Amino acid sequence: MILSCYNGIFWLHHSMGKEDEYISRVVVNVQKRTVNCISSDGDEKLVECKKPQEFVNVLEFCKTVLDPEDVFFEEIKVAAE
C-alpha cells in the first residue's frame, strides 16, 4: 500500500488490484505521536513518528489537505495525582 497526496487529497494505492481510495479522515494521538489514516473504504494506515518535528510536519500536512472536520484528536490522558 502506498500513501500519496494529489489535488489536496490523500490517496492509498494498492498493489492487489483494488481501486484507488482516498483518506477520508485521520485520528491523531499527540501522546504517542501517531496519525491513523482512515480510507474511504475503511482501511487504516498508522503513521508513527519517532521525532517530534516529524510529527508536527505530518500533522501540519494533514491539516493543510484535509477539512478541519476530518481531523480528529484522541483525548489526552493525564494520570491522577
pLDDT in tens, 32-65: 999 998 988 888 989 888 888 888 888 888 888 8
Banded pLDDT at 1 (limits 50, 70, 90)? very low
**Burial (0-12, 13-18, 19+ Cβ within 10 Å), 12:** buried
In the chain, the percentage of residues whose pLDDT exceeds 90 is 25
38-to-77, 78, 80 alpha-carbon distances in Å: 23, 26, 32
Find cell 482512515 and name the residue. 38
Q: Which residues are registered as beta bridge partners of 71?
A: 26
Sign of the alpha-carbon dihedral angle for 14, 19, 22, 27: negative
Which pLDDT value is given to residue 73? 96
Does the global pTM surpass 0.75?
A: no
Which pLDDT value is given to residue 43? 86
